[in-house]
Amino acid sequence: MSKTTSLFVSPPAVLRPRLSRPLRLPSSMRPLTVDSLNPAIRNVQYAVRGELAIKAEEYRVRLQENGADHGLPFDRVISSNIGNPQQKGLDQPPVTFVRQVAALMEWPELANLAPQVFPKDVIARAKELHNETGSIGAYSHSQGVPFIRKNVAKFISDRDGYPSNPNHIFLTTGASAGVSLLISMLISKPNKSGILIPIPQYPLYTATLAQYSGAAIPYHLDESAEWSTSIDEIKAAIDKALRDGIEPRALVIINPGNPTGALLSQETQAAIVALCEEHSLVLLADEVYQSNLHRPATHPFTSFKKVVRDLNSPIPLISFHSISKGVSGECGRRGGYFECTNLSDDVIATIYKMVSVSLCPPLQGQIGVDCLVRPPKQGEESYPLWKEETDKTHKALAERTQIMAERLNKLPGVSCVDSPSALYLYPRIELPEKAIAAAKAAGKEPDAFYALALLDATGICVVPGSGFGQKEGEHHYRLTCLCPGVDQYVGKLEKFHLEFTRKYS
C-alpha cells in the first residue's frame, strides 16, 4: 500500500459496527490516495485560507474549549486574513434593508404576521421579487432571474451612461464562480494558454489557473508609485510569455486592487484597452471593490465598461461584481454577477451552456444582488436608515485604513501605501538577516515565518506576501481594515514588530 495518506477512513467508534474480523481491503482493491487524484489539483494553493488560517482556527477552538486555561498569550483570534466583514470578531453590521427583504423572501407570511416590523417599501420589494421568482426553494433560470438581470443592466447603464443587455449578464455564486468559469473556458491548450495576472494578485487567479492547467503570466505592479499598473511591465510580460511558448489569452485587472487597494486612472485604463486590442486579449475586469472608495473626490472609480464604450473598442470584456464587498459584506450569501461586452452570440451561448451545468446560482444570493443594484431611493421609507448605515460603514473603513497606514509607516523597517480603496493594507517589511536565516531553517518563506510568529504572539491572522506574489527579496503581508478597536489592534501589531525585530537583530 502507498505511504500516501489514504482517503479510506474508518467511521467513528460509536458508529462502527462490531465485526467478527478486522476490516481489510481486498487484495485487488486499490486505495484512493492523493497521488491518484487529478495532478492539477495538487498544484492548487490558496493563501488566504492556507496554513495560517488553519492554525488560527485551531487557536480559536482551543480558546473556546479551554476557557481561562487556554495557555495562550491572547484571548481572541482576529481573522485579518480575508475580507469577510460580517465574520465573528469583525462584526460589520449587515444592512437592515437587505436582511428585511431576505427575511420576507424566506417566509412571505411574515409580512402578515408582523406587518408593523417591515417598512412599506420592503414589503413591496419582496412582493415584487416573489412574483418573479416564486419560492426561493426552487431553481431559477440558469443565467439568473431575468427580472434581476434587468435591474443589474439598469444599474450598469446608470453608472456608465451606456446601455447594458440583460441577456449578456450572468448572475453567479459570488464573483469567484464567474472568474473560475471564464478562466476555465479560456484555457484552450493545457500549460500553453496563459492569463496575465498582476503581482501581487488575489490567489483565486493562480489557484484557478493551476486547477485548469493554465499558465500564469505575471506582471508586477509598481509599489513606489502607489501600486500603479505599468503598460511597459505588461508588454514585457507578454514578450517573455511568447518567447516561452505561452499564448497570452486574457489580461486580469483588479480595480480597485486586491491586496493593494490601488485605483487605475482613466488614462491607464485606455492604454490597457489599446494593449488588449494589439494582442487580441480578453480583458477580465475584477471590479468587486468599486464602492469601497475612501477618497472618492481624488481617487474615483471608473468601470472598464465605460472606458471600452468611450473608446468604441471591440475588445472582449468581462466585468465582475459581488455582494461580498462594498458595505453589504454579504459573503456567505454567495451572490455576484458578470457582464459580457463585445462577445459573440455563440460565445454567450457557450457560457450559458456551462452555467446550466450548475443549474442556477443561489436564490438568496440573487436577491442580494438585486438589493445591491436597487438600494432604497430618497423618499422611500427605508432610505434614511439605509443611508445612515452605509455612510457609517464607509466612514469607519476609511478612518481605520488611514490610522493603520499612518501608524504602520512609523514603525522601523515598515512602509505602507495608504490605500485609497478596497478593504486592505499591504505593508512591506524589512526583516533582519537572522530572521531570514531562521525562516530558512524552519522551511518557511520569511514573511510567512513573520506572520506565523505574529499569530502565535497576538492571535492576529494575516496573509504573507509570498501568497500573493512579490519581487525577489521583498517581504509583505496583507491585513484587512475591517477590525473594530483599531487602536488596540494596531497596538498589538506595533508591539509585536518591535519585539520581533529586536529578537532577531
Look at residue 25 in the predicted model and tell me its pLDDT: 62
Q: What is the pLDDT of residues 204-247, one digit of tens each?
A: 888 888 888 899 999 999 998 999 999 999 999 999 999 999 99
Encode pLDDT of 41-87 as tens digits: 666 665 555 788 888 889 889 988 887 788 888 888 888 888 888 88
CA 131 vs CA 15, 167, 245, 359, 367: distances in Å: 46, 20, 54, 21, 13
HEC secondary structure over 34-97 = HHHCCHHHHCCCCHHHCHHHHHHHHHHHHHHHHHHHCCCCCCCCEECCCCCCCCCCCCCCCCHH
Residue 355 DSSP SS3:
helix
Q: Is 136 in contact with 363 (CB distance < 8 Å)? A: yes
Query: Can you tell me the mean pLDDT for 394-409?
Result: 92
CA distance 90 to 471: 31
Q: Please name the residue that has the C-alpha cell 454577477.
A: 337
Contact yes or no for 462/80 (Cβ under 8 A)? yes
Q: How would you write 460-475 as a 3-class SS string? A: EECEEHHHCCCCCCCC
- My answer on whether omega of the bond before 17 falls inside 30° of 0, hence cis, is no
Going by C-alpha positions, the residue among 328, 323, 305, 289 that lies closest to residue 420 is: 289
> Is the model's pLDDT at 297 over the cut of 80?
yes
Which of 421, 58, 418 has the alpha carbon at shortest distance from 264?
Answer: 421
pLDDT (average), residues 194-200: 93
> How many angstroms separate the CA atoms of 436 and 440, rounded?
6
User: How confident is the model at residue 8, as a pLDDT?
Assistant: 39
Please report the pLDDT score of residue 42 as a whole number.
67
Domains annotated on the chain, with CATH: 47-92+388-504 (3.90.1150.10), 139-373 (3.40.640.10)
3-state SS track over 205-246: HHHHHHHCCCEEEEEECEHHHCCECCHHHHHHHHHHHHHCCC
Mean pLDDT along residues 339-343: 96
Confidence of residue 22 (pLDDT cuts 50, 70, 90): low
Q: Are 221 and 196 in contact (CB under 8 A)?
A: no
Asked if residue 175 has pLDDT above 50, the reply is: yes
